[in-house]
Structure formats: C-alpha cells, structure tokens
Amino acid sequence: MKTIYKMLLGALLGFLGAYCLLAAEFEMTLLDIAFEATLVISGLTIVLIVYCFSGISRMKKRVSLSVSGDEEDELEAKQYRTFTDLTLANTVSTILSIIAIGMAIVTEQPIWLILVNVALFIVTIISSYVAISVLKLVYPNRNLPSPSDKDYGKKLLAISDEGEKHVMLDGLFHTYQLMNILLIGAMFILIVYSLGANHSQLFSIIVIGLVLIILNANYMFRIRNR
Amino acid sequence: MKNRLKELRARDGLNQTELANRAKVSRQTISLMERDELMPSLLLAVKLSRIFQEPIERIFLFEEDELS
C-alpha cells in the first residue's frame, strides 16, 4: 500500500513538474557556462582524487599497526570502510572526468582544459589500481586477484565468502532496482526537456532505453535457466 | 534463529578476526552472523562447531516453529 501511495505521489509530482516546465517553455543551455562548469567539475575530480590517495595512505599506515582483541576488529572494520569510501570517490572521480572531457570537447573549450581532464581521467584509473594493490597489503592471507587480471571481477566474486556475497547481493539488488527507476526517470526528464526547450534529446532517450533493455534482459537471462 | 557466537567467542577469548581466520572466512561474515543477518552454510556451521567444540544445535538456536 505504501508503495502504491509513493508511486501515485511520484506520478502526481512528475505530472505537475512536467506541466510547469512545458508551460514555461524553458531553455537550458550549457554553452554560456561550459568553461566554468568544466573547471568546477575538474576541481571536484581533483578533490576526490586527493581524498582517494589520502585514503590509500591511511590504509597503508594502518597495516603496520599492531593491535589485538576488539581493537583488531575495529581496525579491520575501519580498513574496510576506508576502502569502500575511497572506491566510491574513485568511481565518482572517473565519471566526473569523463563528463568534463565530454563537455570540454562538445562545447569547444581550450585544448589545455581537455588535456587536463584526460590527465585526470588517467590518474583516476591509476588510483583504482593502487587501491586494489593496497587491498592485497591489508589482506595478505587472501588470494586476491591481480588488479591487471582481465577476469578480476569474476575471480574476486569466486574468492568471496558467503557473508561477503550476501552483502554484495543485497547491495546489487537495491542498486538494480534504483537503476531501473532512475534511468526511466531520466528518460522522462529528457522527453520533457526535448519538448520544453525544443532541443531534441531523442538520441539520448533511445540510448538510455537500449541500456535499460540490455541490462534487464541480461539479468533475466542469467536467472532464467538456473 | 539466534546464535551464541558472541558468547562462545568471549568464552574462548577470540575476537571476530581470529575466529574468522580459524574458520577461513571474512570478519564481515562473522559479524553478520552475530547480528543475526546471515544464516551460515552447513559447511561453515560445522567448522564453527569444531572450533567451539560444541554441537551445531548448541551454537545456533532455532525456534520450534522454524523447524516445523
């Protein structure tokens, strides 16, 4: 019942929002502020990269600490949290750097800005490798796959125990549900934007639609015959 | 289902990391079981039973209606 209320409320808010936007005949263009926006995104990427490397350094320092009893458990939990935090920071920084590269190229920004963001993108890739290498230092007894292994994801899943798989499944299932909702929402936003601003976003709508179909089909085919 | 993992750990003077190392699982798995968020596999239950020298049913306590 709660879900139905939420859906109805969402539909009502969506309808009102879309109606207001269409009525206002808005136009949103990034052309005027593309340079500043790219700089801000680049700045954010740098902050996240710094956070990522500081997390890696903290993890390395903690490896040499000698603790026992409950303190050992707390330290292990802290290492795990730091690793997940820096992994998130790393992923977001990679995405932001790609957005910045795209924005700089499409809006014809100075070449140095494009090169800076390409460099930032490369740094985020390197930092993800470094973070995985640190994980090997933290858990020396575990047979963790090498970050350069082409089947890294598969091997990591294979060595994960039942508790870790349980946590991953829970996280992935919620993410899967959220991804479906957000991508469908994004399609509606793009439809409203296309109508309101007279800028066709049809290509993006089709791409998002295809991504949704492929992801859902992939999930269903994977569980279908098991 | 409830379990006596925390109590038995305290009895044997083990922290979660040490128990995890002995059972060859992650500390996260031990922590999840202690918080009743994960029911272990049969293999892990047997391993824990051997570590604590206790029968499985004295580590993992089921309600009667869960078994019927």
Please enumerate residues of B whose Cβ is less than 8 A from a Cβ of A: 15-18, 21, 25-33, 37-38, 40-41, 44
Q: What is the pLDDT of residue A8?
A: 73
Whether the predicted pLDDT of A14 surpasses 80: no
User: DSSP secondary-structure letter at A30?
Assistant: S
Q: Which of A141, A166, A169, A170 to mutate to test the interface with B (most CBs of B within 10 A)?
A: A166
A130 with A122: CB under 8 angstroms?
Answer: no
Please enumerate residues of A whose Cβ is less than 8 A from a Cβ of B: 68-70, 72-73, 76-77, 80, 141, 160-164, 166-167
User: DSSP secondary-structure letter at B2?
Assistant: E
Q: For residue B64, name the pLDDT band (cuts at 50, 70, 90).
A: confident
Between chains, do A73 and B15 touch, taking CB under 8 Å as contact?
Answer: yes
User: Structurally, how many domains does chain B consist of?
Assistant: 1
Rounded to whole angstroms, the Cα distance separating A24 from B10 reads 67
Q: What is the pLDDT of residue A122?
A: 97
Nearest Cα of chain B lies from the Cα of A136 at a distance, in angstroms, of 14
Q: For residue A136, name the pLDDT band (cuts at 50, 70, 90).
A: confident
For chains A and B, count residue pairs whose Cβ atoms are closer than 8 Å.
45
Q: What is the pLDDT of residue A3?
A: 65
Rounded to whole angstroms, the Cα distance separating A213 from A215 reads 6
Kindly write down the DSSP assignment for every residue of A173-188, as one continuous string. Answer: HHHHHHHHHHHHHHHH
Between chains, do A163 and B17 touch, taking CB under 8 Å as contact?
Answer: no
Rounded to whole angstroms, the Cα distance separating A172 from A116 reads 33
Q: Taking the model in full, what pTM does it have?
A: 0.82
Range ranked top by mean pLDDT from A7-16, A68-77, B36-45: B36-45
Q: What is the pLDDT of residue A193?
A: 86
Nearest Cα of chain B lies from the Cα of A207 at a distance, in angstroms, of 39
Q: Looking at residue B6, which CATH number applies to its domain?
A: 1.10.260.40
Picking from B16, B38, B40, the nearest residue to A73 by CB comes out as B16
Whether the predicted pLDDT of A24 surpasses 70: no
Picking from A72, A163, A167, the nearest residue to B15 by CB comes out as A72
Mean pLDDT for B47-65 is 93
Q: Where are the beta strands (DSSP E) in chain B?
A: 2-3, 60-61
Q: For residue A81, name the pLDDT band (cuts at 50, 70, 90).
A: very high
Mean pLDDT for A35-64 is 94
Whether the predicted pLDDT of A17 surpasses 90: no
The secondary structure of B3-26, three-state, reads ECHHHHHHHHCCCHHHHHHHHCCC
Mean pLDDT for A75-89 is 93
Between chains, do B28 and A167 touch, taking CB under 8 Å as contact?
Answer: yes
Whether the predicted pLDDT of A21 surpasses 70: no
Nearest Cα of chain B lies from the Cα of A147 at a distance, in angstroms, of 20
Mean pLDDT for A155-159 is 89
> Range of B21's domain?
2-67
Q: What is the pLDDT of residue A217?
A: 95
